[in-house]
Amino acid sequence: MSTAAPVSKPRRVALFIACFNDTLFPETGRAVVTVLERLGLEVDFPAEQTCCGQMHANSGYQLEAVPLVRRFVDVFADVEAIVTPSGSCAAMVHDQYRRLAELAGDPGLARAVDEVAPRVHEFSRFLVDVMETTDVGAYYPHRVAYHPTCHSLRLLRVGEAPLRLLRSVRGLELVELEAANECCGFGGTFAVKNADTSAAMLTDKLRRVLDSGAEAVTALDNSCLLHIGGGLARLQTGVRAVHLAEILASTEDEPAPAPAGEVSA
């Protein structure tokens, strides 16, 4: 499931934002653009992209997800490198696209998946493995706990990449998170279909975050962070959930904005 690194560092990358970030976390997308451009990359955003299909595929609607697979491989067909700030969407492409093409009985789609999937990179792995950098010039003077999301940990096997990036951030104090590898209880539709069990898992994760003394908890997926952050907010803990990209985008000159609630129209 490793993402094969291209022979040379790309000059242009296409951003796959993921529907979830596009709609709910535009600040993460802006942060990814900031970091990639800071590294001298030209960032492209193919406007025809929508959703990778993970929610449907994981909820039993594999057949409904197939047109979304097709859309993804079409939109990103001619791109050298695709970067996404969602570990689970990247894992979806690497782990499930091939199976969905087979389920659809579409060998052409399977070939297209084989073409595109190796060029899909989760954001932190892209920085560390492809761009071969861990210091992106960030400044974030806070105590931070890192939660390894299950899909980035076990499907993408991002390993140390996000931690190496965090350790290079000036002012940042990385604190130990007990039982870090344990699932936070989000699990997509699991959080609503098995809301009570999800809540029990969340409570234990929140306890560990609070015990760590962190001011912020970070991860590679805003879906898990919406769940963890939603719990932190409900309990008025004063601890915030923030995507890794936003930490890396923060500098002395342009520090990360305080996460005041944005109220919609």
How does DSSP classify residue 53? S
**Cβ atoms within 10 Å, residue 227:** 24
The torsion angles phi and psi of 161, rounded to 5 degrees, stand at -50, -55
* Alpha-carbon torsion angle 228, 82, 115, 46, nearest 10: 110
Query: Rounded to the nearest whole angstrom, what is the least distance from the CB of residue 60 to other proteins in the complex?
Result: 4
Residue 105 falls in which region: left (phi positive, over 0), alpha (psi -120 to 50) or beta = left
Report the residue number, 137 or 230, with the smaller CB distance to other proteins. 230
Closer CB to other proteins, 19 or 172, in the complex: 19
Distance CA 181, CA 193 (A): 23
Which residue number, 35 or 172, has a Cβ lying nearer to other proteins? 35
Cβ of residue 172: shortest distance to other proteins, in angstroms? 24
**Closest Cα partner for 79 from 101, 114, 46?**
46
Could you tell me if 79 and 14 are in contact, meaning their C-beta atoms sit under 8 angstroms apart? yes
First vs last C-alpha separation in the chain: 42
Separation CA 126–CA 161 (nearest Å): 9
Quick one: 2 or 23, whose CB is closer to other proteins? 23
| Bridging pattern class, strands 12-15 and 42-44 | parallel
Q: What is the DSSP letter of 170?
A: B
- Report, in Å, the least distance between residue 249 CB and other proteins: 14
Smaller CB separation from other proteins, 23 or 167: 23
Closest approach, Cβ 232 to other proteins, in A, equals 9
Q: Which of 139/188 has CB closer to other proteins?
A: 188
**Rounded Cα distance, 200 and 181, in Å:** 16
Q: Do 184 and 148 touch, CB atoms closer than 8 A?
A: no
Please identify, using beta-carbon distances, which residue of 23 and 141 lies nearer to other proteins: 23
